[in-house]
Chain A
Amino acid sequence: MSGRVWWRLAWRNLGRNRKRTLITGAALAFGYLAAVVIVGVSDGIVAEMIDNGTSLLQGQVQVHAPGYLPERSLYATLGGDSGMALSPVLERLRELPGVTGAAPRVLGGGLVSAGSQTSGAVLMGEDPALEPRVSRLMAAIATGRAPEEGTRQVLIGSEMARKLGVGPGSEVVLVAPAADGSLGNDLFTVSGVYRTGVRELDAAYALLPIGTLQSLLALAPGRVHEIALGLSDPWTAAAVADSARAVLAAAGVPADVRSWPRFRPEIADYARLARASNWILIAIVFAMAVFGVANTMLMATFERRREFAVVRALGTTRSGVARTVVYEGLILGAFALVAGALLTAPILVWWHRSPPDMSFLYGGFTMAGALVRPVLRVQYSLEAPLLAAAALLVTAVLAAAYPAWRATRVPPADALSDR
Chain B
Amino acid sequence: MTGARRRHPTPGRQRTSGPALARVRWALLPLVLGLAVPSASVPLRAQASGPGRLAARDVLIGTPAAQQAAETPREIIDHVDRLLRGASSRGAFRMEIRTAHWSRTLEGKVWSLGTKYSLIQLTAPQKEAGTATLRVGDEVWNYLPRVDRTIKIPPSMMMGSWMGSDFTNDDLVKESRLVEDYDVAIGYRGPRDGVEVWEFVLTPKPEAAVVWGKILERVRKTDLMPVWARYYDEDGGLVRTMTFSDYRTFSGRLVPATMTVVPTDKPENRTVVTYESLAFDVGLSPSFFSLRNLERGR
Give the docked Cα–Cα distance between A185 and B1 (Å).
11
User: A116, A182, A186: which contacts B164 (Cβ < 8 A)?
Assistant: A182
Given the complex, which residues of B lie within 8 Å of A56, measured CB to CB?
11
Given the complex, which residues of A lie within 8 Å of B101, measured CB to CB?
75, 179, 181
Give the total of B residues in contact with A, Cβ under 8 Å.
40
> Once the chains bind, are B164 and A264 in contact (CB under 8 Å)?
no
> Once the chains bind, are A187 and B15 in contact (CB under 8 Å)?
no
> Once the chains bind, are B8 and A122 in contact (CB under 8 Å)?
yes
Given the complex, which residues of A lie within 8 Å of B156, measured CB to CB?
120
CB distance from B48 to the nearest CB of A (A): 53
> Once the chains bind, are B149 and A118 in contact (CB under 8 Å)?
no
User: B12, B102, B146, B147: which contacts A179 (Cβ < 8 A)?
Assistant: B102
User: A57, A113, A186: which contacts B11 (Cβ < 8 A)?
Assistant: A57
> Once the chains bind, are A122 and B15 in contact (CB under 8 Å)?
yes
Given the complex, which residues of A lie within 8 Å of B152, measured CB to CB?
113, 116-118
Given the complex, which residues of B lie within 8 Å of A71, measured CB to CB?
5
CB contact under 8 A between A72 and B5, given known A118-B153, A263-B10, A369-B13? yes
Given the complex, which residues of A lie within 8 Å of B298, measured CB to CB?
none
Q: Which residues 53-99 in A have Cβ within 8 Å of B in the complex?
A: 53, 56-58, 71-75
Give the total of A residues in contact with B, Cβ under 8 Å.
46
> Once the chains bind, are B164 and A177 in contact (CB under 8 Å)?
yes
Given the complex, which residues of A lie within 8 Å of B97, measured CB to CB?
181
Interface 9-mer from A21-29, A104-112, A231-239, A333-341: A104-112
Given the complex, which residues of A lie within 8 Å of B50, measured CB to CB?
none
Is A175's CB within 8 Å of the partner chain B? Answer: yes
Fill in one digit per residue for A117-138: 1 if any B CB lies within 8 Å of its CB, else 0: 1111010100000000000000
Give the docked Cα–Cα distance between A110 and B147 (Å).
16
User: B2, B10, B103, B127: which contacts A111 (Cβ < 8 A)?
Assistant: B2
Is A198's CB within 8 Å of the partner chain B? Answer: yes
Give the docked Cα–Cα distance between A370 and B152 (Å).
32
> Once the chains bind, are B2 and A181 in contact (CB under 8 Å)?
no
Classify the secondary structure of B's interface with A. loop
> Once the chains bind, are A120 and B15 in contact (CB under 8 Å)?
yes
> Once the chains bind, are B8 and A72 in contact (CB under 8 Å)?
yes
Query: A176: nearest residue on chain B (CB-CB)?
Result: B2
Given the complex, which residues of B lie within 8 Å of A57, measured CB to CB?
11
> Once the chains bind, are A181 and B103 in contact (CB under 8 Å)?
yes
> Once the chains bind, are B3 and A120 in contact (CB under 8 Å)?
yes
Is B9's CB within 8 Å of the partner chain A? Answer: yes
> Once the chains bind, are A198 and B151 in contact (CB under 8 Å)?
no
> Once the chains bind, are A181 and B5 in contact (CB under 8 Å)?
no
Query: A108: nearest residue on chain B (CB-CB)?
Result: B6
Give the docked Cα–Cα distance between A245 and B249 (Å).
62
Is A366's CB within 8 Å of the partner chain B? Answer: yes
Query: A200: nearest residue on chain B (CB-CB)?
Result: B11
Give the docked Cα–Cα distance between A329 and B161 (Å).
75
Query: A196: nearest residue on chain B (CB-CB)?
Result: B11
Is A298's CB within 8 Å of the partner chain B? Answer: no
Given the complex, which residues of B lie within 8 Å of A225, measured CB to CB?
8
Most buried by A among B103, B149, B151, B154: B151
User: A118, A122, A173, A263: which contacts B157 (Cβ < 8 A)?
Assistant: A118
Given the complex, which residues of B lie within 8 Å of A124, measured CB to CB?
8
User: A175, A187, A264: which contacts B2 (Cβ < 8 A)?
Assistant: A175
Given the complex, which residues of B lie within 8 Å of A263, measured CB to CB?
10
> Once the chains bind, are B9 and A186 in contact (CB under 8 Å)?
no
> Once the chains bind, are A122 and B9 in contact (CB under 8 Å)?
yes
Is B68's CB within 8 Å of the partner chain A? Answer: no
Query: A366: nearest residue on chain B (CB-CB)?
Result: B12
CB distance from B152 to the nearest CB of A (A): 5
> Once the chains bind, are A183 and B131 in contact (CB under 8 Å)?
yes
Q: Which residues 141-196 in A have Cβ within 8 Å of B in the complex?
A: 173, 175-177, 179-183, 185-187
Give the docked Cα–Cα distance between A120 and B17 (Å).
11
> Once the chains bind, are A120 and B154 in contact (CB under 8 Å)?
yes
> Once the chains bind, are A369 and B3 in contact (CB under 8 Å)?
no
Query: B105: nearest residue on chain A (CB-CB)?
Result: A181
Give the docked Cα–Cα distance between A177 and B12 (Å).
25
Is B66's CB within 8 Å of the partner chain A? Answer: no
Given the complex, which residues of A lie within 8 Å of B99, measured CB to CB?
181
Given the complex, which residues of A lie within 8 Å of B160, measured CB to CB?
109
> Once the chains bind, are A177 and B2 in contact (CB under 8 Å)?
yes
Given the complex, which residues of B lie within 8 Å of A176, measured CB to CB?
2
10 contacts between A and B (CB under 8 A): A58-B10, A109-B160, A118-B157, A120-B156, A173-B151, A177-B3, A180-B104, A182-B127, A366-B11, A366-B12
Given contacts A177-B4, A366-B11, 17 further A-B contacts (CB under 8 A): A71-B5, A109-B3, A109-B7, A110-B2, A111-B151, A111-B154, A113-B149, A113-B151, A119-B154, A177-B3, A177-B161, A181-B99, A185-B146, A200-B12, A225-B8, A226-B8, A263-B10
Closest 8 CB pairs of A and B: A369-B12, A109-B6, A113-B151, A109-B3, A181-B102, A181-B104, A198-B11, A201-B11
